[in-house]
Amino acid sequence: MKPDRIILIGFMGSGKTTVGRILAARLGWDLVDTDELVEARAGAPVARLFQDLGERAFRDREAEALASLRRRTRLVVATGGGAPAQPRNRDFFSGPAAVFHLRVSLQTVRERTRENAGRPLLALSESALRALYESRMPVYDSMGTAVETEGRKPEEVAENILLLFRTQESQAENED
Ligand code: S3P
């Protein structure tokens, strides 16, 4: 089936929102950032939800936000880094969607997010963050086509994704 949406997955700081914005502009589609959607629906920032209600309550809201997008097409979705790791969200990532994993090194994550206090999980110890990173990578790779972001500008990453997306589209057309 021809993909009618693009979903970006990857670790915090991999550039999902920035690249998603470029892709949406190029395709003339909408961009939804799931963290922003959760924040808009809850009326509070992600960090506050983690702090006041705990991670589980945030994950419930994240799952609801994803479910609310299931019928939308011509959409680029920049997902929170933990969304693909939640089995309850798996349905969202299957179906007629093209899923891309924006690969990033842990060192780059640290560099890009140094000044950013909005991500509660970045307060984890170095070893806990590494363990989280290492546990997430195989999940991302199993769910999306890997796209390298290391040393590349967001525009280049977006170009790469567009090319892959067009290829997937024409393969799907040939199968129909
Ligand atoms: C999280 C990633 C964040 C946000 C929350 C939890 C995670 O999104 O959803 O802080 O579990 O990796 P980004 O990947 O957009 O930073």
Tens digit of each residue's pLDDT (9 = 90 or more) over 106-151: 999 998 888 777 888 888 888 999 999 999 999 999 999 999 999 9
Q: Is the CB of 49 under 6 A from ligand 1?
A: no
Q: What is the distance between the alpha carbons of residues 140 and 149, in angstroms, rounded to a whole number?
A: 14
pTM of the model: 0.96
Output the residue whose Cα is nearest ligand 1's atom 16: 12
Is the beta carbon of 21 within 6 A of some atom in ligand 1?
Answer: no
Dist CA 128 CA 132 (whole Å): 6
Instruction: List the single range of 13-17, 145-149, 156-160, 168-172 with lowest mean pLDDT.
Output: 168-172
Atom of ligand 1 nearest to the CA of 121: 10
What φ, ψ does residue 135 adopt, rounded to 5°? -75, -30
In the prediction, which pLDDT does 94 show? Answer: 86
Tell me how far apart the alpha carbons of residues 73 and 34 are, in angstroms, rounded to a whole number.
15
DSSP symbol at 14: S
